[in-house]
Structure 1
Amino acid sequence: MKLNLDIVPLNSWLDNGKEPLIISGPCSAETEEQLLATAKLLAATGKVSVLRAGIWKPRTRPGEFEGIGSIGLEWLKRAKEETGLPTAIEVATAKHVEEALAAGVDILWVGARSTANPFTVQEIADALQGADVPVLVKNPVNPDLSLWIGALERINRAGIKKLGAIHRGFSSFEKTSFRNEPMWDLAIQLKTVAPELPIINDPSHICGNRELIPYISQKALDLDMQGLMIESHLDPSVAWTDAKQQVTPAALAELVDRLALRKADSDNPVFEDQLAVLRKDIDALDDVIIQKVGERMKIVEKIGEFKRDNSVTILQVSRWDEIVEKRTAIASALKLDKDFTVKLLELIHNESIRKQNEIMNTKTSVEA
């Protein structure tokens, strides 16, 4: 499936010659002095294409700092005048959209909490009717690709052709080193169904701490994402929100300098020829894998018939544990990642259960 989005290329609405695109600025606009000082330092690095700042901050619990509000738009306007950097903010209501457009904000983005609610997205889309402004849509908090796609489609149908996505990671019950799990596969799926859609990575919100930002940033670029949104503060130690995930402008410049920017393809004919040979080998192996899975499922069907005829339950926990233990041991010897192996086995096992369940609920010719 390919998405039918009516959009224009990123370089047609933000052509500043810098690669990758770097959107940076404080998590929150706290004071006019803080915002202006940070903006000037970011502009001086020569690495930043767009200045971002949080004006309205949707917080998890009441009583936390929820943004400076509309007055911050005036500060942002002044920062743009003094640095020449286009500006970007998050909007979560129709009123936010109206005020941002009236203040001349250059780029708007829809936050993760808003993306998760189609009613909110539609309200924002309705407010955008007739506007000629770039809009970026963050992935929803929960790992739901359809919600993400739906939000992009709603904004696009409002007439917004300068459209992009922001990958900021997803909430997960599992506690890991990340604030939000990257779940790269969902971002890759979005690129697959909408290859023309620019995707910006937000390592600040994925990481939750500045130490991991370089790693996530490089991986995002290696997956052919078009840019990064990295939070930067004059002095992160005194930031009013998300202090641990913000970097200084100087640290941002150093981080960007260390990133390796790789091409999506190559003009080298020798490289292309060798790549074509390797891909042909991959295709042949993929064909064998699919064939073997098909053969496995034929045996699964026989097992299902045998269990049905002998009134045996579908799920055999001890057998599943045995499969996982043996196959992960083999996979480890072959230098395959354990998590990958378990996920692959689970996919095959779930399909096996589905097939056996169908057979269990099909009467034999004798019973009929």
Structure 2
Amino acid sequence: MKLNLNIANKKEWLVKEVPVIISGPCSVESEEQVLDTVQQITSNNRIDIIRGGIWKPRTRPNSFEGIGEVGLSWLKKAGEAVNLPVATEVANAEHVELCLKNNIDILWIGARTTVSPFAVQEIADALKGVDIPIFVKNPINPDLNLWIGALERLNAAGINRLGAIHRGFSSFDKSSYRNAPMWELPIELKILCPDLPIICDPSHIAGSRDLLYTVSQKALDLEMDGLMIESHFNPSIAKSDAEQQVSPDDLTIIINQLKVRTSGSSNKDFTNKLEELRAVIDELDQELINKFASRMDLIEKIGSFKKENGVTILQIERWEEIIKNRTFLAEKAGLSNDFIKKLLEIVHQESIRLQTKVMNNSSILGDSK
């Protein structure tokens, strides 16, 4: 089912050329810093929008929380110096009013704000009757409905130049990323609303300069419309998120290395071969579905057998055995351990649901077999 959003054609207001490049400092620190950074990053690159943080919601106090209102005029002047629109983050109605007062061109709602429908509604109310583009970053937790809900609230307030920003999700799992990409969520959003422009924020996903190119290229390969990359004329002295900001020279290197691929080809040989391979995949998928159906039939029988003998659904030793054995088989077959574990977890959850239904004729009681 598609999202019922009344949004403007992205090619008319945003996507003149793919990818859209949004860049600038994580935080506006001084008039000289933002102007110097903006002039350097635009001298050798096609930059479409200048970004700069004015208010910075930090996890703990006593760290740099943004320069505040005075930085809005500095950001605007920097954009005017290079003849580009400027964008910043807002977290409440007061921020909106100050941005409008200072003629900021584009606003975005940050991940910590998107998570609160009350805060988003406050911003939406402050924007009623205002014609300004708004981007919505995904919430910090992987909740697609929160992301969609924020977009819907803004759209209901009359905002139709609307876009989304994918900046990754907080996770307890140890990873090389600052925020887990969880690409499946922006992909799902893209499927639900194909006309919605989606920008990737590789700076917040990566958390370090070393991973910026890889994340940026992955985003373009998934047909995202653009990138928001944080840059600073001297990242080593940045007052916030120094590790993930790049110098103007490094930004140029990243942009020049990016490959923009098309969603199709006019080459008939390519098209024919692709259709042949997809036909084989269709057949394999049918086989997989039939195998899964057979497996679930056995799961129901196991559930009945456990019920008759007073045995619990949870069988820790069996589950550990499955994980160990299947990941070993997957590795031998050249499959990723992460992939097979995720697949097994999904199958596991469905097994629980079926066995619980058999045993108690009720909803899921847990998440283990």
Q: Name the TM-score class by shorter chain.
A: over 0.9
Distance, in Å, in 2 between the alignment partners of 1:48 and 1:120 is: 31
Matched letter for residue 72 of structure 1:
G
Match in the other structure for 2:6? 6
Report the secondary structure of 1:69's partner residue. coil
Letter in 2 for 1:298: D
Task: Give distance in 1, aligned partners of 2:59 and 2:313.
Answer: 43
Per-residue CA distance 1:37-75 (angstroms, 9 max, x = gap) = 111112212321110001111111122111111111111
Assess if the C-alpha contact under 8 Å between 1:18 and 1:49 holds in 2.
Answer: no
State yes or no: 1:234 paired with 2:233: yes
The amino acid across from 2:92 in the alignment is T
Greater mean alpha carbon deviation, residues 168-177 or residues 230-239: 168-177
- SS at 1:60 equivalent: coil
SS of the residue corresponding to residue 108 of structure 1 reads strand
Mapping 1:283-294, distance limit 5 Å: 283-294=282-293
1:40 alignment counterpart: 39
Amino acid across the alignment from 2:83: G
Map 1:18-57; keep pairs closer than 5 Å: 18-57=17-56
1:14-38 residue CA offsets vs partner (Å, 9 max, x unmatched): 25x4421110000111110111111
Shift in Å, 1:268: 2.4
Q: Does 1:94 align with 2:93?
A: yes
Name the residue aligned to 2:366.
none
After TM superposition, give the deviation of residue 275 of structure 1 in Å. 1.6
Whether the aligned pair in 2 keeps the contact of 1:201 and 1:225 (CA below 8 Å) is: yes
Q: In the alignment, is the contact (CA less than 8 A) between 2:85 and 2:105 conserved in 1?
A: yes
Counterpart position of 2:344:
345
Letter of the structure 2 residue corresponding to residue 226 of structure 1? D
- Alignment correspondent of 1:107: 106
Looking at structure 2, the residues matched to 285 and 195 of structure 1 have their Cα atoms a distance apart, in angstroms, of 28
Residue aligning to 1:171: 170
Fraction of identical pairs, as percent: 57
TM-score by length of 1: 0.95
Contact 1:47 1:253 in 2 (8 A): no
Aligned mates of 2:178, 2:341 — CA distance in 1: 24
Q: Deviations over 1:323-356 (max 9, x none)?
A: 2222111111111101110111111111111111
- 1:206 counterpart residue number: 205
Q: In the alignment, what sits opposite 1:74?
A: 73
Aligned length, in residue pairs:
362
CA RMSD of aligned residues (A): 1.4
Amino acid of the structure 2 residue aligned with 1:10: K
Is the 2:10–2:195 Cα contact (8 Å) retained in structure 1? no
CA distance in 1: counterparts of 2:316 and 2:56, whole angstroms: 47
After superposition, residues 174-193 of structure 1 pair within 5 angstroms as: 174-193=173-192
Question: Counterpart of 1:145?
Answer: 144
User: Which residue does the alignment assign to 1:366?
Assistant: none
Q: Displacement, 1:362?
A: 4.6
Match in the other structure for 2:367 = none
The alignment's TM-score, normalised by the length of structure 2, stands at: 0.95
In structure 2, list runs of 5 or more residues that go unmatched. 363-369
For residue 316 of structure 1, report the CA deviation from its aligned partner.
Answer: 1.6
Question: Which runs of at least 4 in structure 1 moved beyond 6 Å after TM superposition?
Answer: none
Question: What is the letter of the counterpart of residue 275 of structure 1?
Answer: L
Structure 2 contact 96–126 (Cα < 8 Å) conserved: yes
Deviations 1:201-236 (A, max 9, x none): 111111111111011111111111111100000111
State how far apart, in whole Å, the 2-side matches of 1:321 and 1:259 are. 42
Query: Partners in 2 of 1:283 and 1:203 — Cα distance?
Result: 33
Q: Spell out, residue by residue over 1:179-212, the C-alpha distance to the aligned partner (whole angstroms, 9 max, x if none).
A: 1111111121211212221111111111111111
Unaligned ranges ≥5, structure 1 = 364-368
